[in-house]
């Protein structure tokens, strides 16, 4: 695997996953996953449902035993000493699991009683903006409040590493953004965060590094710009399709390597943006036209994902 | 320890805020007691059947007999002490009065019913009165009637020291009466339901991934299990106090046995049925299937366990099933230790069978219970 972790050395790696494997019957849910997460990083695992993200995370949390491979988390073997590990990590499960008939404060107090080290309930209620709802039963909370409560529970033991599995799934955009702010605050405190998501934007906005997973394997890993640049050295020049600007004329323009038509628009992939645009404008003028909606665009994580898996990642 | 207490408290809070759970575990058995009580304990007999053992054989004792019959409240049957006590044990007689030899000497010629003139005597002679204290109403009523007749007799001999006294004797009878039968039975049923129903919140917590979330904390599984059992036992205690209290208040069914034994069987029974609840939770994948399975388990238990009627009344082909049911033995044990009911099996056997079910259920759930 490429990436900065090889150079960083082992001193700062809080998660070391080595060739993790887990099978359910004939299905290889996790099929040889290797990566490292450094202290203080926000590390994202991006992939569609069923890619093996949750299973991988649960092996790292000590909730599932891998069939093969090793999960070293905070220097603890997650399969051998799950109890010692659980004392030091924070966990947010994919589905917020709560006691419906307890209040917010009662639930935080309850979870606090499970740990040796704990943050005061009042502090967490304030940090997660739950003050107005602290005496409400958890069953009457909104989706966003419930998710914040579930983050509060994950932070109860003041963990140095927190796992968040699909933290914003099912949230409205506003709640999603407030959770992103929360993750950023965690990062500022120096907490390491491993989160899984199937939202491109979330991975781009939040994560220092990303591992793209599909079919139980890590397909690619790195920062967003590394991932994009590794696959797409070219930029695309887009404009509305017009009769006359045919394929052969376009591909003959300077620097153009590929011409792609999508939804009434044309995209020219090029390494020479200036040359391509100059040629395009000259050709258009010859035809007595002017290209509309002309735009230059860098490839995105979505393009990388599409290129890697052959499908778009949408929920 | 801190986690155990917090979790138990959390379970109790959740329970208290769940109206359906409160109804089924607390209100329902109480309604049952009241309903059954009003059906079965219709007004008592107009006259009590009392055995009359005349060891004196004098006109004085015969006059005394008339005095008792004259109340119109006692229907006397003559016999010797052995045969009348046997009849009483079988439930054919409510009480036995023994008139010892020497009564004639203290009571002089009978003048009429209830009015006797006696000669002097230094020591009062005691009539023996056998009653069954587990049938509180009958027992105290008869004691009052006999006491009245005796004091009237003594007053008739005014100016002299009392010559007659009553010495109450206890005798356990087989016929413990409908109310005395169903109060321990309903307690056993309530404990069974409390235990078996523990499957439902467990499966719910598994389905909603609460168990999984707890599994991601350092909380130990035995702490989780212990807190569930602790909560159920506390509820069992409340149930028992309510059921026994209502039985005593409305139907005069009082505990005559050793309270420690009663408590011991309540705890053993509860834990046994909780472990059966865990077996159900081991096999049920969804809340719906847990609901269905608890019904499948509890209805045969209820109707084939001699809870509502003695096993002797069952058709022959059902009896072998009844003798396998754990509830048969909990009901039997509670009836024995609470109201002195006739044993279906000796108490150690009851305890042994319940423990057997407990061990087997524990092993099955330890092997097959899934946490997620």
Give the tens place of pLDDT for each residue, A101-151: 999 999 999 999 999 999 999 999 998 889 999 999 999 998 888 888 999
pLDDT greater than 60 at residue B117: no
Q: Which chain A residue shows the shortest CA-CA distance from B204? A: A99
Q: Which residues of A touch B215 (CB under 8 A)?
A: 63
The verdict on a CB contact (< 8 Å) between A137 and B17 is: yes
Q: Chain B residues contacting A, CB < 8 Å?
A: 2-3, 5-7, 10, 13-14, 17-18, 208-210, 212-220, 372
The verdict on a CB contact (< 8 Å) between A93 and B7 is: no
Q: Which chain B residue shows the shortest CA-CA distance from A107? A: B10
- Shortest Cα distance, chain B CAs vs residue A91, angstroms: 7
The verdict on B362 and B291 lying in the same domain is yes
Amino acid B118: pLDDT: 43
pLDDT greater than 90 at residue A35: yes
B-interface mutation test, from A58, A59, A113, most B Cβ less than 10 A away: A113
Asked, for residue B242, whether it belongs to a domain, the answer is: yes
- Shortest Cα distance, chain B CAs vs residue A197, angstroms: 19
CATH of the domain at B79: 3.40.1710.10
The verdict on a CB contact (< 8 Å) between A63 and B212 is: yes
The lowest-confidence range among A84-93, B45-54, B258-267 is B45-54
Q: How many CB pairs under 8 A join A and B?
A: 63
The verdict on B185 and B158 lying in the same domain is no
CA distances from A296 to A235, B2, B29, B52 (A): 7, 62, 76, 116
* Domain extent at residue B256: 178-368
ipTM beyond cut 0.85:
no
The verdict on a CB contact (< 8 Å) between B218 and A63 is: no
The verdict on a CB contact (< 8 Å) between A83 and B218 is: yes
Give the tens place of pLDDT for each residue, A201-228: 899 889 999 999 999 999 999 998 888 8
Amino acid B114: pLDDT: 44
The verdict on B278 and B216 lying in the same domain is yes
The mean pLDDT value for B41-51 works out to 67
The mean pLDDT value for A251-273 works out to 85
Residue that terminates a domain, selected from B124, B147, B170: B170
The verdict on B91 and B118 lying in the same domain is yes
Give the tens place of pLDDT for each residue, B141-154: 888 888 888 888 88
Instruction: Give residue B41's pLDDT band: very low, low, confident or very high (50, 70, 90).
Output: low
pLDDT greater than 80 at residue A11: no
- Rounded Cα gap, residues B335 and B329, in angstroms: 10
Asked, for residue B75, whether it belongs to a domain, the answer is: yes
Count the domains in chain B: 2
CB-nearest to A97 from B17, B212, B218 is B212
Amino acid B45: pLDDT: 52
B-interface mutation test, from A73, A111, A156, A159, most B Cβ less than 10 A away: A111
Q: Of all residues in chain A, what percent carry a pLDDT higher than 90? A: 49
Instruction: Give residue B289's pLDDT band: very low, low, confident or very high (50, 70, 90).
Output: very high
**Mean of the per-residue pLDDT values for chain A?**
87
All residues at 6 or more sequence positions from B85 whose CB lies less than 8 Å from its CB, including other chains: B51, B96, B130, B171
Amino acid A208: pLDDT: 94
The verdict on B105 and B142 lying in the same domain is yes
The verdict on B66 and B203 lying in the same domain is no
The verdict on B329 and B361 lying in the same domain is yes
The verdict on a CB contact (< 8 Å) between A101 and B217 is: no
**Mean of the per-residue pLDDT values for chain B?**
83
């Amino acid at each position: 695997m490429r990436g900065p972790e090889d150079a960083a050395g082992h001193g700062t790696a809080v998660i070391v996953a080595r060739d993790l494997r887990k099978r359910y019957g004939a299905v290889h849910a996790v099929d040889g996953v290797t990566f490292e997460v450094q202290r203080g990083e926000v590390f994202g695992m991006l992939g569609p449902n069923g890619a093996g993200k949750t299973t991988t995370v649960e092996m790292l949390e000590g909730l599932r035993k891998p069939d093969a491979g090793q999960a070293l988390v905070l220097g603890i073997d997650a399969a051998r000493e799950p109890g010692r590990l659980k004392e030091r990590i924070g966990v947010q499960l994919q589905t917020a699991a709560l006691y419906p008939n307890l209040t917010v404060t009662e639930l935080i107090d309850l979870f606090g009683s499970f740990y040796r080290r704990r943050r005061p309930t009042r502090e967490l209620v304030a940090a997660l903006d739950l003050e107005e709802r602290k005496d409400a039963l958890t069953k009457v909370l909104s989706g966003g409040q419930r998710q914040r409560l579930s983050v509060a529970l994950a932070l109860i033991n003041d963990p140095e590493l927190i796992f968040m599995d699909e933290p914003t799934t099912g949230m409205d955009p506003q709640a999603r953004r407030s959770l992103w702010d929360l993750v950023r605050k965690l990062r500022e405190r120096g907490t390491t965060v491993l989160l899984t998501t199937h939202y491109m934007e979330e991975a781009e906005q939040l994560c220092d590094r990303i591992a793209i997973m599909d079919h139980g394997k890590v397909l690619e890993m790195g920062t967003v710009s590394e991932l994009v640049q590794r696959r797409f050295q070219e930029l695309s020049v887009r404009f509305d399709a017009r009769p006359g600007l045919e394929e052969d004329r376009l591909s003959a323009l300077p620097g153009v390597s590929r011409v792609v038509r999508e939804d009434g628009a044309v995209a020219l992939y090029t390494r020479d943006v200036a040359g391509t645009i100059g040629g395009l404008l000259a050709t258009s003028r010859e035809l007595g036209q002017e290209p509309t909606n002309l735009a230059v665009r860098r490839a995105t994580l979505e393009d990388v994902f599409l290129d890697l898996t052959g499908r778009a990642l949408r929920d | 320890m801190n986690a155990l207490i917090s979790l138990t408290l959390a379970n109790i809070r959740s329970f208290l805020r769940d109206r359906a759970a409160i109804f089924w575990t607390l209100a329902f058995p109480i309604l049952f007691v009241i309903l059954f009580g009003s059906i079965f304990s219709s007004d008592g007999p107009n006259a009590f059947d009392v055995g009359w053992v005349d060891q004196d054989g004098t006109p004085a004792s015969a006059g005394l007999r008339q005095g008792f019959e004259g109340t119109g409240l006692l229907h006397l049957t003559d016999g010797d002490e052995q045969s009348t006590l046997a009849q009483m044990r079988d439930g054919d007689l409510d009480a036995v009065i023994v008139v010892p030899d020497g009564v004639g000497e203290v009571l002089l010629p009978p003048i009429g019913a209830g009015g006797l003139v006696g000669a002097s005597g230094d020591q009062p002679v005691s009539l023996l009165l056998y009653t069954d204290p587990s049938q509180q109403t009958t027992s105290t009523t008869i004691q009052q009637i006999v006491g009245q007749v005796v004091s009237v007799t003594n007053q008739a001999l005014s100016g002299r020291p009392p010559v007659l006294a009553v010495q109450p004797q206890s005798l356990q009878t087989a016929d413990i009466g409908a109310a005395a039968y169903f109060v321990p039975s309903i307690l056993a049923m309530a404990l069974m339901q409390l235990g078996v129903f523990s499957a439902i919140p467990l499966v719910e917590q598994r389905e909603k991934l609460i168990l999984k979330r707890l599994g991601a904390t350092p909380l130990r599984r035995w702490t989780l299990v212990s807190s569930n059992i602790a909560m159920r036992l506390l509820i069992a205690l409340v149930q028992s106090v309510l059921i026994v209290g209502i039985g005593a208040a409305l139907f005069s069914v009082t505990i005559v046995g050793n309270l420690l034994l009663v408590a011991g069987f309540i705890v053993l029974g509860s834990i046994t049925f909780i472990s059966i609840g865990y077996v159900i939770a081991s096999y049920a994948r969804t809340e719906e299937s847990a609901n269905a399975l608890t019904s499948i388990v509890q209805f045969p238990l209820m109707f084939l366990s001699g809870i509502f009627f003695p096993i002797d009344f069952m058709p022959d082909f059902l009896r072998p099933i009844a003798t396998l049911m754990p509830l048969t033995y909990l009901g039997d044990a509670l009836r024995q230790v609470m109201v002195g009911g006739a044993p279906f099996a000796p108490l150690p056997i009851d305890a042994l069978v319940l423990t057997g079910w407990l061990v087997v259920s524990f092993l099955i759930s330890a092997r097959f219970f899934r946490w997620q």
